[in-house]
Structure 1
């Protein structure tokens, strides 16, 4: 199906596609973290910590994912992926500078547009990246490649909050937003280095009625037992993660008796562990089926989330956060690998577009109800409930634990 069919595969680190996409991701992560903290701190300062104004930031970031992921995934399968990714980064940069002008001339509420527009465009770029990943990385190296991405995300979980806070505190909102625009431009330039995708025949084959392509993504997921179970695991994990994320601040203030600032240390401990965990999984990735990886991550999430809800000990909570971070990469890597392995390269974008909103949508739903749950139940009860959801997600994997990924190579010319 691609140049990756040679008998002796080159080292993953010599893969030109992976080198390029990792460099692009580093640049984008810098921009995203600077943006996130600049907007958060600016809105908090401007509105005197108004909960409604601050919650709108999450709506601006997550609502487009839920709405546009289906559409973006479909178009990602119809368009040339390399060109799509470059244009998305360029349009993001243009929109950022446009919003920057609006902010400069007095409309501070425009800061929400920065997150909103960027989130929309990412729904076209991200599935295109997944499609190229499927095409340019050998099947047996997919899980290792995903582990490298997870490690990169973990590095920014540690460095991102510090970087974002530093830039905003020293240079203010406008420079922070400008930094985001510049790194998106740089990312677009880096992506020019991507190998030519040579997917003209594949892309031409899926041109036709948009509605037909759109529906085909849902049908493809529904007809695969593995992808159906993965969707259910997505829903359960989204519900659990949303509640835990929304109420982590109360764990710090009520259970541990610390100030809000202590939350950043919990996140840093978790991020450092994710970095280590991603490295460990990268080493053992070839030997462990992705279903088992996902189950291990979900089971650990169930235990750790429940303990965090009951703990009033700072050392215990931080230790459990570290353990949870250590194992959390198993969830991300397991899910991403399963999507890639069980999806034909011509439909990866749509499969991603169908499954991703299940996680994000349920996360938004549970975040929305978190406040109401907090007034009715104790933190211990809520976090125990989230732990049960993680446990159910692990159990969902049992019926598909021994299934092998289909061989799409033979069918490469069909779609």
Structure 2
């Protein structure tokens, strides 16, 4: 841990991530409330905001990962935050001119840029952080993100309600500028020159060949698709569990989300401490997490006690943190540096696709069965992932 705290790359990347998390939550809450104010709480406009946040992941995840593998990672992260900052100035001018719809572009631009910068951050970790410290580094980063899952909505709401949309956009400009400026102090270690010039399309094909030729990655890809489908089925139904099973008002759903965020915070800190054990027993950890998720899914729909449901969500958050630390460390440690971006770009959209397909199907499943049936289907899908996790082989 002491070596990690003295690692310049870790400190800079972690601080930049912290700034970006602040920006993301200010953006999320300010744009949500502003669009609701402008459209009279139109649900179509709100759903469009969500769609515009996730759609670029499908379109640009593989593209961003491919170019992240080709470009200098330091320049990529700096350019990404600099472009985000400049785009805020453009959007600010349009909003000030009365074109309020320009705020949708803020979400699109941020989502696109992240598909290029996030894989580059992983490359920086791979290159500059010792392998035995990667799990701890990921655990600390995970805890920072969990912290903002709890307090981010309050911060974003406060900024918008006290300052308004234009000041919120100015705050985003300042935050992204600070992140870009901070990353100027990253070490200037350029990529080794390639002996052969290749096209991006060839790089994408090589990325698919690499994943298909890697037994663990094929298993993880299928597992991500299935677990994403399970999460998608239950995600839109949380509010109905809160109302129908627990007898609470719909607004109470936020407290269960906060409970899961608290679990992720605690789990991230614990995983950072236990990184050596997680690495040593990685297959067992991932398998147990899948079983825990399946059991928690069943408990959530069976429970009629808020305390039990809240406790289950805390445990879910802890399990999620352990999974993300284990998976992220595995991706950084075991995947060849030149394939990190493309591997992320192939696997992550599978989970997103599963989530969208599950979300689209959840209403139909409830109509044909009931709320309990939908959750048991999701639990069965999650439990089925054990077939794939049990076959993972780590050196």
* TM-score, scaled relative to structure 1: 0.90
Question: Is the CA contact (8 Å cut-off) linking 2:242 and 2:248 kept in structure 1?
Answer: yes
C-alpha distance 103-377 of structure 1, shift in aligned 2 (>3 A): farther
Q: Which residue in 2 is equivalent to 1:393?
A: 385
RMSD: 1.7
Q: Is 1:25 the counterpart of 2:11 in the alignment?
A: no
Q: Which residue in 2 is equivalent to 1:174?
A: 166
Alignment of 1:302-381 (within 5 A): 302-381=294-373
Distance across 2 between alignment mates of 1:161 and 1:368: 26
C-alpha distance 207-33 of structure 1, shift in aligned 2 (>3 A): farther
Question: Is the CA contact (8 Å cut-off) linking 1:77 and 1:206 kept in structure 2?
Answer: no
Q: 2:229 aligns with which of 239, 255, 268?
A: 239
Q: Which residue in 1 is equivalent to 2:72?
A: 80
1:262-320 deviations in Å (ceiling 9; x for gaps): 12211111111111111111111112233333223222111111211222221111111
Deviation (angstroms), 1:38: 1.4
C-alpha distance 258-168 of structure 1, shift in aligned 2 (>3 A): farther
Q: Which residue in 2 is equivalent to 1:51?
A: 43
Q: Which residue in 2 is equivalent to 1:384?
A: 376
Instruction: State the SS of the aligned residue for 2:41.
Output: coil
Instruction: State the SS of the aligned residue for 2:391.
Output: helix
Q: Which residue in 2 is equivalent to 1:124?
A: 116
Q: Which residue in 1 is equivalent to 2:245?
A: 255
Deviation (angstroms), 1:205: 4.7
Q: Which residue in 1 is equivalent to 2:210?
A: 220
Deviation (angstroms), 1:169: 1.7
Distance across 1 between alignment mates of 2:196 and 2:386: 35
Question: Is the CA contact (8 Å cut-off) linking 1:78 and 1:207 kept in structure 2?
Answer: no
Deviation (angstroms), 1:120: 0.5
Distance across 1 between alignment mates of 2:86 and 2:115: 17
Question: Is the CA contact (8 Å cut-off) linking 2:84 and 2:109 kept in structure 1?
Answer: yes
Distance across 1 between alignment mates of 2:144 and 2:353: 25
Deviation (angstroms), 1:242: 2.2
Q: Which residue in 2 is equivalent to 1:266?
A: 256
Instruction: State the SS of the aligned residue for 2:385.
Output: helix
Q: Which residue in 1 is equivalent to 2:394?
A: 403
Deviation (angstroms), 1:10: 6.3
Structure 1 segments, 4+ long, off by >4 Å, are none
Q: 1:229 aligns with which of 197, 206, 219?
A: 219
Deviation (angstroms), 1:375: 3.3
Q: Is 1:285 the counterpart of 2:275 in the alignment?
A: yes
**Gapped runs of 5+ residues in structure 2?**
none
Question: Is the CA contact (8 Å cut-off) linking 2:366 and 2:373 kept in structure 1?
Answer: no
Distance across 2 between alignment mates of 1:99 and 1:331: 37
Q: Which residue in 1 is equivalent to 2:286?
A: 294
Q: 2:29 aligns with which of 28, 34, 37?
A: 37
For these two proteins, the number of residue pairs brought into alignment is 393
Question: Is the CA contact (8 Å cut-off) linking 1:34 and 1:160 kept in structure 2?
Answer: yes
Distance across 1 between alignment mates of 2:176 and 2:369: 43
Moved more, 26-35 or 247-256: 247-256
C-alpha distance 47-319 of structure 1, shift in aligned 2 (>3 A): same
1:12-34 deviations in Å (ceiling 9; x for gaps): 11111110001001100000011
Q: Which residue in 1 is equivalent to 2:83?
A: 91
C-alpha distance 390-88 of structure 1, shift in aligned 2 (>3 A): same
1:365-394 deviations in Å (ceiling 9; x for gaps): 222333333433322211222222221223
* TM-score, scaled relative to structure 2: 0.95
Distance across 1 between alignment mates of 2:355 and 2:195: 35
C-alpha distance 244-172 of structure 1, shift in aligned 2 (>3 A): farther
Distance across 1 between alignment mates of 2:9 and 2:197: 25
Deviation (angstroms), 1:132: 1.1
Moved more, 242-251 or 273-282: 242-251
Question: Is the CA contact (8 Å cut-off) linking 2:297 and 2:375 kept in structure 1?
Answer: yes
